[in-house]
């Protein structure tokens, strides 16, 4: 009885397995559970593999039109084409959420027009701005009494930086003060003679004499004031100092001559010490050199072959050790150096933090041409895949690889001739991550 039951089950299993291959595994597991050895139903898998081939061979061999098998075969082919088209739709796409994009620092920006700039690389040397260098001259014969600033100290314009002891200054001050006193006395005498003449108490001759002496002293005062001015002294300050000296007779300022900074800046050179004689022939002419280094110059030597492209006012990027500062050309010499056949070009460069030191060698990128383009992308936004230049356009699901045709270029970017329109969002930073992710996805798909 048991053998008969097993035979029936076996027959049903074979029939079902042949008709419905998808359940043959279930049948086999059921038969195994019933104790039927696997060798007895191993043949049930054979029709599954051989049936399509046999049907196909039969259709080709007998030459008859088998409508039903053909329909089934056609349906299977259509299904394969559908799967292939779906795979093609995914090719060139990188699925990525907004959180993943942010987490991998992939920056997205809209493609837009811009300027392509061509540059000329020229070596140069930093020098002080000659318009911002000033010397503190002695101007008078004397001896250095005080040096109030050290090398490197900051100074403000008109600040007293040194004091000289000068007999020449004392004489000039004395002449002015004496002339001033005499003029006041003669003015009083002239006004008195004028009143006497009006009341007929004095003669015309006495009045004329008083007038002449008064005018002569006024001339002396003017000459003494001009001498003070030539020495850089102010007559009103000399008079005020004289009044202070009268109150403190032991602290005469008559021989003191203050030297003031002509500009704001730093002391970059100190040429004398306390007690040094100055002002005479052979003596030091200057006490200090003050430089304002908030702006410096860069001296360039440009060959004649490139000189025609360099213009005054052109932007310049100066590179030193990876640090870049931007200045502009302020002078292009019309004269050529006879030995080097090059021209002197001067660049003005901001130096607010005083890190650009005169004497340093630098490399300057002088802008020589600019071109406006409708679509410009940075070099960091471009990748090369299978020999073609591509960008990654942002989509709702992530990014899409887009082949582009490039045109002109500069140091930082390219003109996009076709393949990308202005306003489309693209990845502009860390695009190599998208290239790697795309390669990984396509490798998994091929596998």
Same domain? 233 vs 174: yes
Q: How confident is the model at residue 251 (pLDDT cuts 50, 70, 90)?
A: low
Average pLDDT over residues 289-296: 94
Same domain? 357 vs 376: no
Same domain? 99 vs 213: no
Average pLDDT over residues 273-300: 92
Same domain? 163 vs 284: yes
Note the pLDDT of residue 39.
45
Note the pLDDT of residue 9.
43
Query: What CATH number does the domain containing 321 carry?
Result: 2.40.30.170
> 310-347, pLDDT tens digit by residue?
999 999 999 877 778 899 999 999 998 888 889 999 99
Host domain of residue 406: 94-114+372-446
Q: Is the dihedral of CA 136, 142, 146, 147 positive or negative?
A: positive
Is 264 within a domain?
yes
Q: How far apart are CA 402 and CA 434, in angstroms?
A: 12
Mean pLDDT across the chain: 78
- Cβ atoms 180, 239 nearer than 8 A: yes
Q: Collapsing DSSP states into helix, strand and coil, what is residue 309?
A: coil
Is 58 within a domain?
yes
pLDDT tops 90 at residue 144 = yes
DSSP strand E in 395-431: where?
Answer: 398-403, 405-409, 413-418, 425-427
Same domain? 321 vs 255: no
Report the domain count for the chain: 4
Q: How far apart are CA 83 and CA 104, in angstroms?
A: 32
Three-state SS for 149-213 is CCCCCEECCCCEEEEEECHHHHHHHHHHHHHHHHHHHHHHHHHHHHHHHHCCCCCHHHHHHHHHH
- Cβ atoms 238, 252 nearer than 8 A: no
Query: What CATH number does the domain containing 409 carry?
Result: 2.40.420.20
270, 288, 306: which is the final residue of a domain?
Answer: 288
pLDDT tops 70 at residue 79 = no
- Supply φ then ψ for residue 124, to 5 degrees: -150, 175
Q: How confident is the model at residue 66 (pLDDT cuts 50, 70, 90)?
A: very low
pLDDT tops 50 at residue 38 = no
- Cβ atoms 289, 133 nearer than 8 A: yes
Same domain? 364 vs 414: no
Residue 418: exposed, middle, or buried by beta-carbon count in 10 A (0-12, 13-18, 19+)?
Answer: exposed
Same domain? 359 vs 389: no
| Higher local confidence (pLDDT), 203 or 326 | 326
User: Which residues have C-beta within 8 Å of that of residue 217, sequence separation ≥ 6?
Assistant: 179, 182, 183, 186
Q: How confident is the model at residue 24 (pLDDT cuts 50, 70, 90)?
A: very low
353, 370, 387: which is the final residue of a domain?
Answer: 370
CB atoms within 10 A of CB 86: 9
pLDDT tops 50 at residue 105 = yes
Is 149 within a domain?
yes
Same domain? 193 vs 203: yes
pLDDT tops 50 at residue 388 = yes
Note the pLDDT of residue 444.
64
Note the pLDDT of residue 228.
81
Q: How confident is the model at residue 445 (pLDDT cuts 50, 70, 90)?
A: low
Is 134 within a domain?
no
318, 352, 370: which is the final residue of a domain?
Answer: 370
Same domain? 333 vs 436: no
Q: How far apart are CA 83 and CA 288, in angstroms?
A: 87
Q: Which of 121-125, 192-196, 441-445 has the lowest mean pLDDT?
A: 441-445
> What spatial distance separates the first Cα and last Cα of the chain, rounded to whole Å?
53
Same domain? 16 vs 123: no
Q: How confident is the model at residue 16 (pLDDT cuts 50, 70, 90)?
A: very low
Q: How confident is the model at residue 412 (pLDDT cuts 50, 70, 90)?
A: confident
- Supply φ then ψ for residue 324, to 5 degrees: -120, 130
| Higher local confidence (pLDDT), 248 or 108 | 108
> 344-382, pLDDT tens digit by residue?
999 999 998 888 999 999 989 998 888 888 999 999 999
Note the pLDDT of residue 62.
43
Same domain? 157 vs 212: yes
pLDDT tops 50 at residue 387 = yes
In the beta sheet, which residues pair with residue 346? 299, 331
- Cα–Cα separations (whole angstroms), residue 65 to 56, 69, 158: 12, 9, 113
In the beta sheet, which residues pair with residue 95? 398
Q: How far apart are CA 288 and CA 351, in angstroms?
A: 22
Same domain? 281 vs 315: no
User: Which residues have C-beta within 8 Å of that of residue 323, sequence separation ≥ 6?
Assistant: 355
Q: How confident is the model at residue 447 (pLDDT cuts 50, 70, 90)?
A: low
pLDDT tops 60 at residue 249 = yes
CB atoms within 10 A of CB 255: 18
């Amino acid at each position: 009885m048991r053998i008969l039951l097993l035979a029936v089950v076996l027959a049903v299993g074979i029939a079902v397995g042949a008709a419905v291959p998808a359940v043959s595994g279930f049948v086999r597991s059921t038969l195994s559970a019933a104790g039927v050895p696997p060798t007895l139903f191993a043949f049930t898998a054979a029709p599954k593999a051989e049936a399509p081939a046999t049907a196909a061979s039969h259709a080709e061999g007998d030459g008859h039109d088998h409508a039903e098998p053909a329909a089934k075969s056609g349906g299977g082919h259509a299904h394969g084409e559908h799967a292939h088209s779906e795979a093609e739709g995914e090719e060139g796409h990188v699925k990525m959420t907004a959180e993943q994009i942010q987490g991998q620092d992939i920056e997205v920006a809209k493609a837009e027009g811009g300027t392509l700039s061509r540059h000329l690389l020229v070596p140069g040397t930093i020098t002080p701005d000659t318009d911002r260098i000033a010397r503190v001259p002695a101007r008078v014969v004397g001896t250095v009494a005080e040096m109030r600033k050290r090398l490197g100290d900051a100074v403000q314009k008109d600040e007293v930086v040194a004091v000289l002891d000068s007999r020449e200054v004392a004489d000039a001050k004395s002449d002015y003060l004496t002339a001033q006193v005499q003029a006041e006395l003669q003015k009083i005498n002239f006004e008195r003679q004028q009143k006497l003449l009006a009341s007929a108490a004095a003669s015309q001759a006495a009045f004329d004499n008083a007038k002449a002496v008064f005018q002569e002293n006024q001339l002396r005062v003017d000459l003494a004031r001009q001498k003070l001015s030539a020495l850089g002294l102010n007559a009103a300050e000399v008079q005020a100092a004289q009044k202070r000296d009268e109150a403190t007779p032991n602290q005469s300022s008559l021989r003191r001559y203050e030297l003031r900074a002509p500009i704001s800046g730093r002391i970059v050179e100190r040429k004398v010490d306390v007690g040094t004689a100055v002002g005479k022939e052979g003596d030091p002419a200057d006490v200090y050199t003050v430089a304002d280094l908030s702006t410096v110059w860069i001296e360039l030597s440009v060959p004649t072959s490139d000189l025609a492209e360099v213009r005054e006012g052109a932007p310049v990027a100066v590179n030193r050790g990876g640090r870049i500062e931007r200045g502009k050309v302020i002078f292009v010499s019309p004269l050529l150096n006879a030995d080097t056949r090059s021209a002197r070009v001067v660049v003005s460069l901001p130096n607010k933090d005083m890190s650009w030191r005169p004497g340093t060698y630098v490399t300057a990128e002088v802008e020589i041409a600019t071109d406006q383009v409708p679509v410009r992308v940075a070099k960091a936004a471009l990748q090369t895949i299978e020999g073609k230049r591509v960008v990654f356009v942002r989509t709702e699901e992530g990014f899409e690889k887009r082949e582009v045709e490039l045109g002109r270029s500069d140091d930082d970017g390219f003109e996009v001739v076709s393949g990308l329109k202005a306003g489309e969002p693209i990845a502009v930073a860390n695009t190599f991550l998208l290239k790697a992710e795309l390669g990984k996805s396509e490798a998994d798909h091929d596998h």
